[in-house]
Chain A
Amino acid sequence: MTKQGRERPSAVVRGRMTPYLYLLPALLVYGTFLLFPVVRTAQFSLYDWSGFGPATFVGLDNYAGLVGDRRFADAIGHSLYLIIFYSLIPLAAGLVLAAILRRGQVKGMGFFRVLIFMPQVIALVVVAVAWRQIYTPGGTLNQILGWFGIDSDRGWLGEPDTALSAVGVIGFWVQFGLVMLLLLAGMGRIPNELYEAARLDGANPVAEFFAVTLPAVRGEIATALVLTIIAALKTFDLVYMTTSGGPGSATTVPSYEVYNRAFQLKQVGSASAVAIVLTLIVFTINVFVSRIGEERRALR
């Protein structure tokens, strides 16, 4: 019986092919509308092509062109820097907020949850308009600094040394509610008895957080990290709508390069090469992150 059981896909699935049947519909749609276009993008990346008219096969020239491209290298560096704002800080903030909402007897929990999630909801075009008002030399941020006696007439998005961080803060603002929500979903699964037991043992809130809450949401942490790191590396809208990669090229990111090359410079071949390289980078980083999440789980 054990031998047979091991060969079965699961306790309720007999047929070897059954798992594939469950995958099939998703795979069909996904393959047609996402994977296949990616393969086509890879194909386009081998051509010198403006997106219309005739194309010339150039082999790996588009990739070779990226090797010495300072602006492309900078773009990758910028997107890695954005991970701090999009991913790491929101994770810390999200953990604290979710833990408070889960275990503390907070009145009006729904109220806080909704408002903190709200930044995710609003279209980025509009978000960008608001933040540009905040960062402008006469804007809200400088006014708030003024209350604390700091006199500033800086245009935060216009100075090379602050522009990227300023974009990053917008990214943090957008992401932290999402991270909180994902973690709450995991924490909701923790039975109340576990918290009660911890308290009977005399654990303080911090100890309880590390003993009960954190271990239970490792999967969600990995999910949140994967999702936000992808968002950081794939950032496009926010840069496009706040700085257009400026000042100079201080905030350009790979996805902006993809868009800029494809639709402004009309170099679809080169844009495709950037896209493929970007996709591979994101994939590598995330396989790494999600493996860490799963190994920890296995230890448990």
Chain B
Amino acid sequence: MKTSRAEQAINYVILILATLFAVFPIITIALTALGPQLGVVEPGPHWHNVVDAWQQGRFGESLWRSLVVAAVVVPTALILSTLAGYAFGTMRFRGSEVLFYLFLFGLMVPAEAIIVPLFYDLRTLNLTDTLVAVAMPQVAQSIAFGTYWMRTQFRALPPNLVEAAAIDGCGSFSTLRRILVPPLRPALATVGVLMFMWTWNEFLIPLVMSPTGQWRTAPLGLSLFKGQYTADGALMAAAGLIIAAPIVVMFLILQRYFINGMLEGAAKE
């Protein structure tokens, strides 16, 4: 594929402008993070802010907890929504539309609304302050989107894939596993990154569901820099960077799947 010089130039200009727009608030954050803490007058950059934020925010423990929560939420939600999306995307059955809208409905519910009943009901079951209380509501939220997304992806696959599998004598599960999942790897990677990100940044659920702080995840550490009246912006920004770093790494690792993988899948067909 070739593109003309002029077009190339325009493309780069657009991309660079978009990138600058995306990045400049982040640079603001980075500059704030390296700026002086409240009451500090020496000129920066203050690299030790990151160390201070790490210690005061107790990120050693909370990042680990975040990782555990994400390790439960993302794979569980991915598997369950792939199974559900497979049914919605490739099978005909009674009530499929109603059930599908029932899942779609979950996307619409504001978390602020369900958090109160969820807390009381889980407390009645003695589940607050457990991994279940922090992770499962997030699995449910991720399933709502994941099912919706995977249904679209299964539908966009060429229908002859399933027919070919039938001719080869595959059962429904081996069709899913051997024939359909490989070309959907990029789509799975995309939704996996999104689920990871949402879980990682989730604030309200871990806060409310873990009153004694046993399952406080990393973003709650930001709260430790906010006093009743005053907050330390530099430490908060430094903490923000610490919290964001694992997602960036995750994204960098998975990003090669996004396009290259897709082309492979399409070419094999």
Pair A23/B1 contact, Cβ less than 8 Å: no
Chain A residues with CB under 8 Å of B54's CB are none
**Cβ distance B87 to chain A, nearest Cβ, rounded Å:** 4
Evaluate contact between B106 and A173: CB separation under 8 angstroms: no
1/0 per residue B16-27: CB within 8 Å of A? 001101111110
Q: Are A117 and B171 in contact (CB under 8 A)?
A: no
Flag whether A96 is at the interface (Cβ < 8 A): yes
A163 to chain B, nearest CB (A): 18
> What are 7 of the A-B contact pairs (CB < 8 Å)?
A30-B103, A30-B106, A41-B116, A125-B219, A223-B148, A258-B110, A279-B113
Smallest CB separation, B268 vs chain A (Å): 11
- A10-B91, A110-B255, A191-B267 known; A29-B80 Cβ under 8 A: yes
Residues of A within 8 A of B102 (CB): 35
B68 to chain A, nearest CB (A): 18
A286 and B2 contacting across the interface, CB-CB below 8 Å:
no
Asked whether, in the complex, the Cβ of B116 is within 8 Å of the Cβ of A44, the reply is: yes
CB of A32 within 8 A of CB of B262, answer: no
Q: State whether B244 touches A122 (Cβ < 8 A).
A: yes
Q: Which listed residue (B2, B152, B175) contacts A12, Cβ 8 A?
A: B175
| CB atoms of A134 and B259 under 8 A apart | no
- Chain B 95-109, CB-CB to A under 8 Å as 1, else 0, gives 010010111111111
Which residues B114-130 have CB closer than 8 A to chain A? 114, 116-118, 121
Within 8 A of B (CB), among A77-118: 93, 96-97, 100-106, 109-110, 112-118
Q: Decide: A184 and B259 in contact? CB cutoff 8 A.
A: yes
B contact residues around A226 at 8 Å (CB): 104, 107, 148
Question: Smallest distance from the beta carbon of B95 to chain A beta carbons, Å?
Answer: 9
A191 touches B3 (CB 8 A): no
Question: Which B residues from 210 to 240 make CB contacts under 8 A with A?
Answer: 219, 222, 233, 236-237, 239-240
Given contacts A37-B117, A219-B156, 14 further A-B contacts (CB under 8 A): A11-B163, A13-B172, A22-B84, A22-B91, A22-B172, A29-B140, A37-B137, A102-B259, A114-B255, A118-B26, A123-B219, A272-B116, A283-B105, A287-B101
B83 to A100, Cβ gap below 8 A?
Answer: no
Contact (Cβ within 8 A) B117 A44: yes
Given the interface pairs A9-B91, A23-B83, A177-B22, the reply to whether A33 lies near B149 with Cβ below 8 Å is: no
B104 and A290: CB pair below 8 A? yes
- Number of chain A residues whose Cβ lies closer than 8 Å to a Cβ of chain B: 110
List chain B residues, Cβ under 8 A from A43. 117
* A121 in contact (CB, < 8 A): yes
Complex: chain A residue closest to B12, CB-CB? A106
Is there contact, CB below 8 Å, between B91 and A123? no
Q: Is B22 a contact partner of A121 (Cβ separation < 8 A)?
A: no
- Chain A residues close to B by CB (< 8 Å): 8-13, 16, 18-20, 22-23, 25-27, 29-30, 32-38, 40-41, 43-44, 51, 93, 96-97, 100-106, 109-110, 112-127, 129-131, 133-134, 140, 173, 176-178, 181-182, 184-186, 188-192, 195-196, 199, 205, 219-220, 222-223, 226-227, 230, 233-234, 236-237, 254-255, 258-259, 262, 268, 271-272, 275-276, 278-279, 282-283, 286-287, 290, 297
Asked if B199 CB lies within 8 Å of chain A CBs, one says no
What residue of chain B has the Cβ atom nearest to residue A280's Cβ? B108
Q: If A32-B140, A33-B137, A118-B248 touch, does A192 touch B1 (CB 8 Å cutoff)?
A: yes
Q: A residues within 8 A CB of B67? A: none
Determine the distance from Cα of A234 to Cα of B96 in the docked complex, in whole angstroms. Answer: 27
Closest chain A CB from B57 CB (angstroms): 12
Given A41-B117, A126-B29, A26-B93 contact (CB < 8 Å): no
Bound together, the chains give a CA A191 to CA B25 distance in angstroms of 36
Please indicate the chain B residues that have their CB under 8 angstroms from the CB of A278 in the complex. Answer: 110, 113
Contact with A along B170-201 (1 / 0, CB 8 A): 11100100000000001100100010010001
